[in-house]
Amino acid sequence: MRKILASTLLMAAALYANAVLALDSAGTPVVVTPLASRTTTASGQPITLPQKNVQVLVSTYDIAPGATLPVHKHPFPRYAYVEAGTLQVTNVETGKANTYKTGDFIIEMIGQWHQATNVGDGPVKLLVIDQVEEGAKNTILRQ
C-alpha cells in the first residue's frame, strides 16, 4: 500500500509538472524543469510514507564550510535540494559516501545512521522537506 501511494504521488507530480508546460492565464509561457524522479533513497531503500496523519515540514539549512553534522538517522522520508555548495553524506553503518553539489536532489536514507560534511569552499544551502507522522520529529541523534 505504501509503495502504491508513493508511486501515485510521484506520478501525480509528474503529470502536474507536464500540464504546467502550457501558458499561464496571461498567455506567458511557463517552463518546468524536472529535477529528479526516484523510487529509492540514497542507500537503495524503497521510498515509503508514514502510515497515519502525515505532516509535511519544510525548512532551510545553512552549513558552514568544513562543518560536520552529528551522526543521526531519520525515521521518516526526508528530501533535500542542494541550493548551493558541496555536501558529502556518509552512511556510517556501511562506510559508503555520496557527494552532492548545487542542483542535486537528495532522498535521504531512512533508519540508517549517517552524517554530512560540507566539503566545499563555501556554505551549503539546503531546502529540506520532511514527511512525518503529525507531531513527530524526523531527526534522531546517536547517543
What is the DSSP secondary structure assignment for residue 75, as one 8-state letter? S
Mean pLDDT score, 21-36 = 76
pLDDT of residue 29: 85
- The pLDDT of residue 32 is 81
Domain spanning 36-141 has what CATH number?
2.60.120.10
pLDDT given for residue 24 in this prediction? 63
pLDDT at 22 over 50: yes
28 pLDDT tier (thresholds 50, 70, 90): confident
| 3-state SS assignment for residue 6 | helix
User: Which amino acid, one-letter code, is at 27?
Assistant: G
In a 13 Å sphere around the CA of 85, the CA atoms on its Cβ side amount to 26
Mean of per-residue pLDDT scores for the chain: 86
Closest CA to 106 of 123, 72, 82: 82
Give 50-108 pLDDT, tens digit per residue. 888 999 999 999 999 999 999 999 999 999 999 999 999 999 999 999 999 999 999 99
518546468: which residue's cell? 32
